[in-house]
Amino acid sequence: MNISQVHTDTISGTSVDILHGVLNETKNYPSVSASCTRDGFQSYNIISRVSNSVLQEIFNKTQKYLDLVVKNCIYYEFYIDHIHLIHYNSGGWQVGHTHSSHEDHSFILYLSNSDGDTRIYEGKDIVSITPERGKIVFFNSHYYHEGSVCVNEKKIAVGSIRFRHKIWEPR
């Protein structure tokens, strides 16, 4: 990968299975109508439906990522305030966008193996990530990103990471 604030890790199969269950439950409710998801279902915020064990695993992976990318900071606190689930049908895709207006960093957790790569851009640099079950991708929310059309169904969880406090090193 050639973009400094894009990192991948993995989440356990147990956590992925739990999120699959939540996705199946939430599909009984209406999809978010004003979203970048095309030809698929997107849930509202499901963080209250996610077990503490899954949230703790995601939190620990987020801490590891932020320790790599947060520089010149003596202390910081973060929280995950939003997770939504997306189930793309065959032919589904994600319109390009950023999350810069409402979060600091983002993650995408792939709940299934699929095609329909995620592309993340920083200037002329592009990272293309193939969906693999359990792979979690962290990136700066200012980065423009999109999901290419998938031939096979694709299921993902998308999360918002926000800073509560940052204490910078004195200059």
pLDDT digit string (tens) for 141-157?
999 999 999 999 999 99
Query: How much of the chain exceeds pLDDT 70, in percent?
Result: 96
pLDDT for 100: 87
Every domain of the chain and the residues it spans: 6-166
Of 68, 53, 62, the C-alpha closest to 108 is 62
Task: Encode pLDDT of 88-100 as tens digits.
Answer: 999 999 999 999 8
Q: How many CB atoms are closer than 10 A to CB 38?
A: 15
- Helices marked H in the chain — which ranges? 13-26, 52-69
Q: To which residue do tokens 């939190």 refer? A: 59
Q: Does the pLDDT value for residue 1 go beyond 70?
A: no
How do residues 30-40 score in pLDDT, each as one tens digit? 899 889 999 99
Q: What is the largest CA-CA distance in the chain?
A: 53
Report the distance separating Cα 110 and Cα 131, nearest Å: 6
Structure confidence at residue 171 (pLDDT) = 53
Taking 80 as the threshold, does the pLDDT of residue 83 lie above it?
A: yes
| Stronger pLDDT, 2 or 68, i.e. the higher one | 68
CA-to-CA dists, residue 168 to 95, 109, 112, angstroms:
35, 30, 39
Is it the case that residue 60 has pLDDT exceeding 70? yes
- For residue 2, pLDDT over 60 is answered with no
**Residue 38 tokens, joined:** 């095309």
Quickly state the pLDDT bin for 164 (edges 50, 70, 90).
Answer: confident
**Entry pTM:** 0.94
Listed residue (33, 79, 77, 83) closest to 165, CA to CA: 77
Lowest mean pLDDT among 66-80, 105-119, 143-157: 66-80
Task: Look at the domain 6-166 and name its fold.
Answer: Jelly Rolls (2.60.120)
According to the model, what pLDDT value does residue 71 have?
Answer: 80
